[in-house]
Chain A
């Protein structure tokens, strides 16, 4: 009941402070950018899926961070944290409620818009006259949607974790953004450096480790088994991060404004 109360309150907050509206416009803007500008697929692209994935893979962590960056520090800054923490509510429940509210707001929004983009690209004929590329099978597209949604959820959890320790909402956002780097540009470099160019041939413990890397996520879109390894690894990582955040928060002396 308390979890639901926190969830409802957080979702109402997101509607009233227009964060949800901003996130929605952001996703629509990204889809528009990819479909109708040179940022998206061109006739020189390898595939529509790769172009979409590259673009959304870059923006989704920002969306997750946007939703979760002020989860704890924002409440500390406004002095509202002590209002709820003097009530019989466990801090883990508070964090889980906040995470669920962010995820429930963002993930369906992203999924629906990406699925609509898939059908729009076919109905409008844009894939034929503009990109001159075939659309990927729906299953592969849905796999991309799932990986992107899980990535969003992971970065919401990362932002919430960081917001436990940040000294302001701004520093929380900046610190969270630094966690994007290992996944995307650095990850590929690391894989090159250790000589794991063929990620498909790695054994599954290694695949779990590199599941945050863009290169492996891209590969996972082409292999059903790797999709599940990647998806489950992202889910597990998110869950572990939330549990650790809850555990740390329970131990933390909360300082206020």
Chain B
């Protein structure tokens, strides 16, 4: 049996007439990184806030680290770390004081609290700024501090809402690297909402696509690629230009289109979901072509997202 770190059942949240989250159901396996994708206003932040017990669902239930968000909010809060898109901090407190205060709220004993704060500040590269007021920090430093405070209680589940939003490439990379380090430990389940699709693709084991508060698709990126209707795109490089190979490939049933890029390089679009690589290789060899490389380009996560959202809206 696969244990779930997060189990959401028919979660619904309305703001007046607007249904922000609509009968949302999904599961996130323990120790994995789950990417939560969707356009603006899809319901991602509302879902995250419900999971963090900041707002109450109108209907449905959710278990976070085995605790019900409606009936055991304190236990949920003890099990999670939460980073919001633009985390606010007490500007007139130092980084060390901030972690100490939040550690107190987590019931961490004094010596353990101070040690943990020092370790985390060192891990996120803020050890030398521990006694500086948070008001003097850059946005990147604040996000690193946000990650440190979220890890204070060694949470079972880390909820990250756009943690790299508005950061420069270096700042975003630092946060991403830290998440990847956490991922390697496999002790914490990470629920990541992000618009940075390359980031989600690089970090996440599984993604969920949400729009209008409904889950449209949930699977690994590789499986989602397979299930899209786009087919696949391949790039092959021949030793020499060969018109017979191009003609033969164009006549192949599963090939939709062949583009010759610079004589020797061909871009091949296929139609179905079946494996067509052996067929391509055979066609090239049969027509006297010498293949130097064959590379599957596949659908990007952006294409998968756009298609899933488009299909969802058509329905």
Q: Which residues from 1 to 39 on chain A have a C-beta closer than 8 Å to any C-beta of chain B?
A: 1-2, 5-6, 9, 12-13, 16-17
- Who on chain B is nearest to A15 by CB? B92
- Are B107 and A83 neighbours in the complex by a CB distance under 8 Å? no
Residue numbers in A under 8 Å from B75 (CB-CB): 88
Residue numbers in A under 8 Å from B86 (CB-CB): 79
Q: Which of A2, A81, A82, A253 contacts B104 (CB 8 A)?
A: A2
Residue numbers in B under 8 Å from A12 (CB-CB): 92-93, 97
Q: Which of A5, A82, A89, A256 contacts B82 (CB 8 A)?
A: A82
| B77 in the interface (beta carbon within 8 A) | yes
Q: Which of A13, A80, A257 contacts B89 (CB 8 A)?
A: A80
Q: Which of B52, B55, B90, B105 contacts A89 (CB 8 A)?
A: B105
- Are B53 and A86 neighbours in the complex by a CB distance under 8 Å? yes
Residue from A1, A78, A88, A254 whose CB has the most chain B CB atoms within 10 Å: A88
Given A5-B105, A82-B84, A253-B56: A88 and B89 interface contact (C-beta under 8 Å)? no
| Minimal beta-carbon separation of A251 from chain B (angstroms) | 8
- Are A254 and B106 neighbours in the complex by a CB distance under 8 Å? no
Given A87-B77, A87-B106, A88-B107: A9 and B101 interface contact (C-beta under 8 Å)? yes
- Are A1 and B78 neighbours in the complex by a CB distance under 8 Å? no
Given A1-B107, A5-B104, A83-B102: A257 and B54 interface contact (C-beta under 8 Å)? no
> How many interface residues does B have (CB within 8 Å)?
29
The docked-state distance in angstroms from the alpha carbon of A89 to that of B102 is 10
The docked-state distance in angstroms from the alpha carbon of A6 to that of B90 is 13
| A240 in the interface (beta carbon within 8 A) | no
- Are A82 and B88 neighbours in the complex by a CB distance under 8 Å? yes
- Are A78 and B106 neighbours in the complex by a CB distance under 8 Å? no
- Are B54 and A87 neighbours in the complex by a CB distance under 8 Å? no
- Are A80 and B88 neighbours in the complex by a CB distance under 8 Å? yes
The docked-state distance in angstroms from the alpha carbon of A115 to that of B85 is 50
Q: Which of B55, B91, B92, B102 contacts A87 (CB 8 A)?
A: B102
Residue numbers in B under 8 Å from A78 (CB-CB): 88, 90-91
> How many interface residues does A have (CB within 8 Å)?
27
Given A87-B77, A88-B74: A257 and B88 interface contact (C-beta under 8 Å)? yes
| Minimal beta-carbon separation of B213 from chain A (angstroms) | 16
- Are B52 and A86 neighbours in the complex by a CB distance under 8 Å? yes
Q: Interface readout for A72-102 with B: 1 if CB under 8 Å, 0 if not? A: 0000001111111111111000000000000
| Minimal beta-carbon separation of A76 from chain B (angstroms) | 9
- Who on chain A is nearest to B15 by CB? A253
Given A5-B105, A88-B106: A83 and B78 interface contact (C-beta under 8 Å)? no
Residue numbers in B under 8 Å from A87 (CB-CB): 77, 102, 105-106
The docked-state distance in angstroms from the alpha carbon of A88 to that of B64 is 14
Given A13-B90, A17-B92, A87-B77: A254 and B104 interface contact (C-beta under 8 Å)? no
- Who on chain A is nearest to B86 by CB? A79
- Are A5 and B55 neighbours in the complex by a CB distance under 8 Å? no
| Minimal beta-carbon separation of B265 from chain A (angstroms) | 51
- Are A13 and B80 neighbours in the complex by a CB distance under 8 Å? no
Residue numbers in A under 8 Å from B82 (CB-CB): 82, 86
Residue numbers in A under 8 Å from B227 (CB-CB): none
| Minimal beta-carbon separation of B110 from chain A (angstroms) | 10
- Are B101 and A254 neighbours in the complex by a CB distance under 8 Å? no
Residue numbers in B under 8 Å from A6 (CB-CB): 105
The docked-state distance in angstroms from the alpha carbon of A155 to that of B80 is 36
Residue numbers in B under 8 Å from A89 (CB-CB): 77, 105
Residue numbers in B under 8 Å from A17 (CB-CB): 92
10 cross-chain CB contacts under 8 A: A2-B104, A2-B107, A9-B101, A79-B86, A82-B88, A86-B54, A87-B105, A88-B105, A90-B74, A254-B54
